[in-house]
Structure 1
Amino acid sequence: MKRDDAQDNSNLHTKKSIPPYMKAISGSLGGIVEASCLQPIDVIKTRLQLDRSGNYKGILHCGATISRTEGVRALWKGLTPFATHLTLKYALRMGSNAVFQSAFKDPETGKLSGHGRFLSGFGAGVLEAIVIVTPFEVVKIRLQQQKGLSPELLKYKGPIHCARMIIREEGFRGLWAGVAPTVMRNGTNQSAMFTAKNAFDVLLWKKHEGDGKVLQPWQSMISGFLAGTAGPICTGPFDVVKTRLMAQSREGGELKYKGMVHAIRTIYAEEGLLALWKGLLPRLMRIPPGQAIMWAVADQIIGLYERRYLHAAI
């Protein structure tokens, strides 16, 4: 009798599990919406991080300068690789995180510990950094650092042309420039983000995954926004170094930065400690709102699945 009860409980738990593919779909759709809304902030962040001579006085001055000298369309430079990158990144992040969480769940109780949630997020961040984030961001940053809109004056004519040029001039490894700081940044970011998002959902809204409760979009946005704030502060140096390593090419001689540690030392020696947090404010203007937008979309899709296919069958 006890064995039958245990089997029933096991079946109930299986029914309440949200499949990884649904997490992947929800994340990819959220990424499309986020990219469309926040691309100008990403362009400004990249320009500020690459600015060594103080041409830009701040976020507003940078945005105004780009609009005045290059046209408003320049604020959406790199949108195609950015949107594709976010769509694929969130699909892989949400899907792989769900797989890792399943692996770390207690086989008897089906519960996921805080330690398991943290490791699942870190694993998802590392995977997305290696497979998707690094090559897409290399192309995006090379496009964003180009000034002007006249195609004949630009080295890279578009994302595909940019990728081909990098491969031809620097080899396939050129598309993975800055992979080390990207792995560190994304692994740390996602471990903190998934842990914090779950904590805020429970703390603020008493929402537990699989309970059938669907958050209102504004509730998801608050939880996502708060969860997205800690990462940029902690990983600022990794993001600056990543951008510098991705932006440099072998054209015209030796590379200025030899690797992650060398780049950190060089930036600190030449520009001071605060330079390692360049672009922090636009990151805070982009990442927490981006997480708010993404989770507002993702939670609605996941909630719809829970109500229609999980709890309707119980």
Structure 2
Amino acid sequence: MVSLSSPPPPPPRAEELQGGRPPIPPYVKAAAGSLGGVMEACCLQPIDVVKTRLQLDRSGAYRGIAHCGTTVARAEGVPALWKGLTPFATHLTLKYALRLGSNAVLQSAFKDPDTGKVSAQGRLASGFGAGVLEALVIVTPFEVVKIRLQQQKGLSTDLLRYKGPIHCAKTIVREEGLFGLWSGALPTVMRNGTNQAAMFTAKNTFDIFLWKKHEGDGKVLQPWQSMVSGFLAGTAGPICTGPFDVVKTRLMAQGRTGDIKYKGMVHAIRTIHAEEGLRALWKGLLPRLMRIPPGQAIMWGVADQVIGLYERTYLQSAHV
């Protein structure tokens, strides 16, 4: 006897489980991140200059953040606090575009096909992968140029070795080879991978815990709510990755020719610990904490609004 019963319906797709809304495209998240990066760079560049000067200070010339900032402004002029802004802003714009876009792509690969959700392990792996990618493609060469410009002291452009970001990059390639732009790549990869694994996971956790906001639910946070989540998510990384950041700065600043004090990441950590003590591996931590959490607050405050605008304009109207 042939059964006339209809076959069971197929399992619901991930977007159906999220209220029928399709996922936000990675290019939207990339654009949101780039706009947030521009705003962050303009607001926080002076703190980054102070952080770099403190990390490069071996003689104790600066007695702290305030003394460093006032010394630079008094000796070199207030605009010196925005040294390296062009590569810094360009680097942040491209970095956040790649970070948010690649993280979205990686998260889609880790999504459960039945529930459409990303596990905690998948979120960590996606963040780490996005951090490694941004470190190799964008962060390392741009930070090499930025740090070389920031370590220069003086007022007269004619007396400075590097006249600007393009001249700096060309000089490094000519004197040290193309890979000179990737000095300090290994500690940068370790720093950024760990940072982004923690940051994306923490941002999602704080959004859920504080605001009951789940990714893809159509709810758009207020800017101040996104800034609170972003600020809190940006605090853990600098503490965990301080030694990687100090070593990265030292390796990038010394170049590949002339006086090579540090032969690599491990050698640099051992040398700094032996010559300057354990605390030296966290030099510049306070300005990093003054820069990264507020930077994440600014970036997410902008990025979440751009993503929310896309959701309101396209996804919700399509759903209706």
CA distance in 2, matches of 1:198, 1:280: 25
Taking a change above 3 Å as real, the CA distance of residues 158 and 310 of structure 1, as seen in their structure-2 partners, is same
Within 5 A, what are the aligned runs for 1:79-98? 79-98=85-104
Taking a change above 3 Å as real, the CA distance of residues 2 and 150 of structure 1, as seen in their structure-2 partners, is farther
CA distance in 2, matches of 1:178, 1:35: 22
Q: Which residue identity does 2:161 align to in structure 1?
A: K
Question: Given that residues 180 and 256 in structure 2 are in contact (C-alpha distance below 8 angstroms), is that contact kept between their aligned partners in structure 1?
Answer: no
Report the count of equivalent residues.
313
Residue 119 of structure 2, aligned match among 113, 116, 128: 113
Taking a change above 3 Å as real, the CA distance of residues 2 and 41 of structure 1, as seen in their structure-2 partners, is farther
Question: Given that residues 13 and 114 in structure 2 are in contact (C-alpha distance below 8 angstroms), is that contact kept between their aligned partners in structure 1?
Answer: no
Taking a change above 3 Å as real, the CA distance of residues 191 and 152 of structure 1, as seen in their structure-2 partners, is same
Within 5 A, what are the aligned runs for 1:81-230? 81-230=87-236
Q: Which has the larger radius of gyration?
A: 2
CA distance in 2, matches of 1:250, 1:111: 46
2:265: which partner in 1? Answer: 260
Question: Given that residues 16 and 311 in structure 1 are in contact (C-alpha distance below 8 angstroms), is that contact kept between their aligned partners in structure 2?
Answer: no
* 3-state SS of 1:6 partner: coil
Q: Which residue identity does 2:117 align to in structure 1?
A: K
Higher deviation after alignment, 78-87 or 242-251: 242-251
Q: Which residue identity does 2:267 align to in structure 1?
A: H
Q: Which residue identity does 1:265 align to in structure 2?
A: R
**Identity percentage of aligned residues:** 78
State the shift of 1:4 in Å.
4.8
CA distance in 1, matches of 2:133, 2:206: 25
Within 5 A, what are the aligned runs for 1:33-72? 33-72=39-78
CA distance in 1, matches of 2:278, 2:166: 36
Per-residue CA distance 1:84-138 (angstroms, 9 max, x = gap): 0000000000000000000000112211101100100000000000000000000
Higher deviation after alignment, 161-170 or 107-116: 107-116
Q: TM-score, normalised by structure 1?
A: 0.97
Q: TM-score, normalised by structure 2?
A: 0.95
Unaligned runs of 5+ in 1: none
1:294: which partner in 2? Answer: 299
Residue 271 of structure 1, aligned match among 266, 273, 276: 276
Q: Which residue identity does 2:223 align to in structure 1?
A: P
State the shift of 1:37 in Å.
0.1
Taking a change above 3 Å as real, the CA distance of residues 195 and 10 of structure 1, as seen in their structure-2 partners, is closer
CA distance in 2, matches of 1:3, 1:92: 42
Task: Kindly report the root-mean-square deviation, in angstroms, between the aligned alpha carbons of the 2 structures.
Answer: 1.4
1:282: which partner in 2? Answer: 287
CA distance in 1, matches of 2:99, 2:14: 29
Per-residue CA distance 1:129-176 (angstroms, 9 max, x = gap): 000000000000000000012111100000000000000000011000
Per-residue CA distance 1:52-87 (angstroms, 9 max, x = gap): 000000000000000000000000000000000000
State the shift of 1:15 in Å.
3.7
Q: Which residue identity does 1:179 align to in structure 2?
A: A
1:244: which partner in 2? Answer: 250
Higher deviation after alignment, 3-12 or 88-97: 3-12
Unaligned runs of 5+ in 2: 1-5
CA distance in 2, matches of 1:9, 1:96: 20
State the shift of 1:309 in Å.
1.2
Taking a change above 3 Å as real, the CA distance of residues 8 and 140 of structure 1, as seen in their structure-2 partners, is closer
State the shift of 1:224 in Å.
0.2
CA distance in 1, matches of 2:145, 2:247: 16
Taking a change above 3 Å as real, the CA distance of residues 21 and 270 of structure 1, as seen in their structure-2 partners, is same
Could you list the structure 1 runs, at least 4 aligned residues long, displaced by more than 4 angstroms after superposition. 1-5, 7-14
